[in-house]
Chain A
Amino acid sequence: MDNGQKWIAFSTIVRREINRFMRIWPQTLVPPVITIVLYFVIFGKLIGSRIGEMSNLPYIQFVAPGLIMMSVITNSYSNVVSSFYGSKFQRNIEELLVSPTPNWIILLGYMVGGMSRGLGVGAMVTLLSLYFADFSLHSVPVTIGIVLMTSLMFSLAGLINAIFANSFDDISIIPTFVLTPLIYLGGVFYSIDLLGDFWGSVSLINPILYMVNAFRYGMVGITDINIVWSFIMVGIFSIVMFSVALHLLEKGSRLRS
C-alpha cells in the first residue's frame, strides 16, 4: 500500500467510526450530556452553592473542568471498547484483518474515532457548562493539549480492553470497577489538599488526577500538581498504551487463531 492508499484506509475507518456513533446518537451522545447536566445542577448549583469555595474558586467553577474531562474520558474509552468489541463479536473485524491495511493504521483509525466522540461530547458539555458557570480560558495550549492527550490515551485503553474482552461483561468491568473509581478519586470534585498527607500522596498514583488538574489549570488557572509533570505522565502513559495496543494487533492476540 502506498501512502495515498493508507490515507484512504485510515479515513475510511475514521468515517465509519464517526458514522457509527452518529447513527446511534440516542445511545452515544445524549446520555453523557444529560448525566453531566445533572452533575452541574446537583453538585454545581444545588449542593455547590452551600459548599462555597474550593481552592479559592466558586465550587461550580472548580468542578466544571473535572466534569468536562470526565465526559471526555468515559466517551473516548467507551466508544472504542464497544465498537472494537462489537466488531470482534460480529466478526466483521475480519474485514480489516484480511485487508492490506497495516495494523498501525487500524490502531490510529479506531483511536481517532474514539477521540472524535470523546472530544465531541466534551465540546457539547463545555457549551452547556457556560450556562451554569462563567469561564475565561487561562491557557488555551494547556487546555487543548491535555484534553487531546487524555482522549487519545483513553481511546487506546478502550482498544486494549476490547482486544482482551471475551464477552460484553468484560467491556463493562473496567469502566465500572476501575475507570469510574479513578475518575471520582481523581480530584474532579475536590482538591487533594483536603485529603491530608497520606491520602494525598496515595492519590498521586492516579493518572486521572494529573489530567483533571492540568485541564483545570488550562481553564481556570489553578492546580494541585505540577503541569509539566502532568503532560509527562500522560505522554508516557499514551506511548505505553499505543505500544501495547500495536503489539497486540501485530501479534493477532484474540483476533487471529
Chain B
Amino acid sequence: MTQPALAITQLTKIYDDGFEALKCIDLEVAPGDFFALLGPNGAGKSTTIGIICSLVRKTAGSVTIFGHDIDKDFSAAKQFVGVVPQDFNFNQFEKPLDILINQAGYYGIHRVEAERRAEKYLKQLGLWDKRDIASRTLSGGMKRRLMIARALIHEPKLLVLDEPTAGVDIELRRSMWSFLKEINAQGTTIILTTHYLEEAESLCRNVAIIDQGQIVKNTSIRELLTQLNKETFVLDSRDEVLQCPVVDGYVLSQVDGHSIEVVVEKSQSINELFAALTAQGIYIVSMRNKANRLEELFLDLVEQNLQEKANG
C-alpha cells in the first residue's frame, strides 16, 4: 500500500500561554499531490507547518511523513521534508552558494554532490550569478528563491511552502508557479499555504481550509468550486451607462459610468442577462469575476464557521 506523503492524526497544539492553536486536526496528503492549506491569519497554518518540520512541539497527536513518525523516526522523516518558511531565515552575511552547500551538509550530503546540486538549483532559480555575494544584498524575490533552492538541496519528496510568493511581483510569482508545477510534475509532493487564492486555484489539486485551529473543509479544488452557488461579475459596457439597468431576477449595481456589477446564481443563465441588457441598448465588451471564485467560497466558509461558533 502506498504511504501518504503526510498523515496528521488528532494533532493538537496548546502554546505555553494557553492558546489552543490546533484542535485535534486530521489531515492526509497523497504522494504527488499539490495541496493547498488555506486559512485566515492565526488559523493554525504556520503552527501545522512548524510541527511538520519540528520547529514547533506538538501537544498531542501524531505526524508521519511517507510512513515515518516525526517522533520515533525523526531522522528518516526529516530527510523527506523540505521547508520554505514565511520569513527569511538564512544567515544574511553568508553567500547563497555557501548557504546551500552548508544546508546539504546538515543532511549528510557529500560536498562534491552538494556543489553540483547547488549549481543546479541556483541556475534553475536564476541565482547563479549571485552565488558569491552576501545574501543580505539580494532583492526580496531573490531571497525567496534562495529559500526554495535551500529547501530543495536535499531533494525532499515533500516540499512545504509557507506563503512563498508573499510580497513577490506578478512576473516573478508566475515564474515561481511554473517552477513549482515542474517539480510537482517530477514527483515532489507540495503543500502550500497562501493568501493568494488565485495561486491555490491555479496550482493545487486538493485543499484543506483551516480556521480557528480546526479543518473546516478538506476536498479537491474542483469539488469545492462546484459548491459555489453564486458568482459576482463586473461587466464593462461599450457606451456610457447613465442609469443602472434593471433585469428581472438579477441583482445589478452600477460601479461607474462604464461598469456594472451583477450577482449570478448557479441556476441562472448569463446568456439571458446579456440578451436583456442588449435589449436595453447596453452592449457588453468584456466581463470578469469581481473576486477569485475560491476567494468567495473561502470567505463564505470562514464566515459560516464564525457564525456556528457564535451560535454555540
A residues sitting closer than 8 Å to B (CB atoms) are: 1-2, 4-6, 8-9, 11-13, 15-16, 19, 23, 86-87, 90-92, 94-102, 252, 256-257
The 3 A-B residue pairs with the shortest CB-CB distance in the complex, in nearest-first order: A5-B108, A12-B105, A99-B106
Give the shortest distance, in Å, between B109 (CB) and chain A (any CB). 7
- Residues of B within 8 Å of A23, CB to CB, are 93
- B47 to chain A minimum Cβ distance, whole angstroms, is 9
Closest B residue to A19 by beta carbon equals B98
Contact present for A100 and B90 (CB under 8 Å): no
Q: A9-B107, A100-B74, A256-B57 are in contact. List 12 more A-B contacts (CB 8 A).
A: A2-B108, A5-B109, A12-B105, A13-B105, A15-B105, A16-B98, A19-B98, A90-B92, A95-B150, A100-B79, A100-B108, A256-B55
Q: In whole angstroms, how far apart are the Cα atoms of A5 and B75 in the complex?
A: 11
Residues of B within 8 A of A (CB): 15, 50, 53-57, 74-76, 78-79, 81, 83, 85, 87, 89-93, 98-99, 101-103, 105-111, 150
Q: Once the chains bind, are B55 and A99 in contact (CB under 8 Å)?
A: no
Q: In the complex, A136→B112 CA distance in Å?
A: 45
Chain A residues near B75 (CB-CB < 8 A): 1, 100, 102
In the complex, residue of chain A having the shortest beta-carbon distance to the beta carbon of B83: A98
Residues of A within 8 A of B83 (CB): 98
Contact of B78 (CB < 8 Å), options: A2, A19, A100: A100
How far is B83's CA from A110's CA once the two chains are assembled, in angstroms?
Answer: 24
Beta-carbon nearest neighbor of B79 in chain A: A100
> Quick check: A257 and B56 within 8 Å, CB to CB?
yes
Q: Of all chain B residues, which has the CB nearest A96?
A: B106
* Chain B residue contacts of A19, Cβ below 8 A: 98
A8 with B50: CB separation less than 8 A: no
**For chain A, what secondary structure do more than half of its interface residues adopt (helix, strand, loop), or is it mixed?**
helix
- Chain B residues closer than 8 Å to A16, beta-carbon distance: 98, 102
Contact, CB under 8 Å: A95 / B102: yes
Q: Is the CB of A95 within 8 A of B108?
A: no
- Which residues of chain A are near B110, meaning CB under 8 Å? 8
Q: Once the chains are docked, how many angstroms separate the CA of A212 from the CA of B132? A: 43
Chain A residue contacts of B91, Cβ below 8 A: 86-87, 90, 92
* B108 contacts A1, C-beta separation under 8 Å: yes
B residues within 8 A CB of A11?
Answer: 105
Cβ of B14 to closest chain A Cβ, rounded Å: 11
Q: A98 near B53 (CB under 8 angstroms)? A: yes
CB pair B92–A8 under 8 Å, yes or no, is: no
Please report the C-alpha to C-alpha distance between residue A86 and residue B92 in the assembled complex, in whole angstroms: 11
Check A256–B54 contact: CB distance below 8 A. yes
A7 to chain B, nearest CB (A): 8
Q: Tell me if B78 and A257 are in contact (CB < 8 A).
A: no
Which of B54, B79, B92, B111 gathers most chain A CB within 10 Å? B54
Q: Of residues B53, B101, B102, B108, which shows the largest number of chain A Cβ atoms within 10 Å of its Cβ?
A: B108
Contact of A94 among B55, B79, B92 (CB under 8 A): B55
Residues of A within 8 A of B15 (CB): 257
Q: Which residues of B have CB within 8 Å of A6?
A: 108
Considering the chains assembled together, what is the distance between the CA atoms of A102 and B74 in angstroms? 9
Q: Could you pull out 11 A-B pairs where Cβ atoms are within 8 angstroms?
A: A5-B108, A9-B108, A11-B105, A12-B105, A16-B98, A91-B89, A92-B89, A95-B89, A96-B106, A100-B106, A100-B108
- Please determine whether A94 and B85 come into contact, CB atoms closer than 8 angstroms: yes
Specify which chain B residues have a CB less than 8 angstroms from the CB of A257 in the assembled complex. Answer: 15, 50, 55-57
Alpha-carbon separation in the docked complex, A102 to B92 (Å): 25
What residues of A have a CB within 8 angstroms of the CB of B92 in the complex?
Answer: 90
CB distance from B148 to the nearest CB of A (A): 14
Residue among A8, A19, A98, A99 with most chain B CB within 10 A: A98
In angstroms, Cα B76 to Cα A16, docked, is 24
> Which residues in A have their C-beta under 8 angstroms from that of B103?
95, 99
Contacts of B74 in A (CB 8 A): 100
Q: Which residues of chain B come closer than 8 Å to A96, judged between CB atoms?
A: 106
**Assembled-state Cα–Cα distance A41/B311 (Å):** 80
* Interchain nearest-CB distance for B93 vs A (Å): 8
Q: How far is the CB of B171 from chain A (nearest CB, A)?
A: 28
- A94 vs B102: C-alpha distance in the bound complex, in angstroms? 13
- Asked if B50 and A95 make an inter-chain contact with CB atoms under 8 angstroms apart, the answer reads no
Asked if B54 and A97 sit within 8 Å, CB to CB, the answer is yes
Quote the shortest CB–CB distance from A252 to chain B (angstroms).
6
A13, B101: Cα distance in complex, Å: 11
CB < 8 Å neighbour of B107 from A5, A92, A252? A5
Q: If A87-B91, A90-B89 touch, does A98 touch B54 (CB 8 Å cutoff)?
A: yes
Q: Which of A2, A9, A87 has a CB less than 8 Å from the CB of B106?
A: A9
- The interface residues of chain B lying within 8 Å CB-to-CB of A4 are 108
A99 B89 Cβ-Cβ under 8 A: no
> Bound state CA distance, A90 and B93, in angstroms?
10
Decide if B81 touches A98 in the complex (CB within 8 Å). yes
| Chain B residues, Cβ within 8 Å of A100 | 74-76, 78-79, 106-108
Chain A contacts for B106, CB-based, 8 A: 9, 12-13, 95-96, 99-101
Which residues from A are CB-within-8-Å of B105?
A: 8-9, 11-13, 15
Chain B residues near A15: list those with CB within 8 A.
105
Q: How far is the CA of A92 from the CA of B146 in the complex (A)?
A: 13
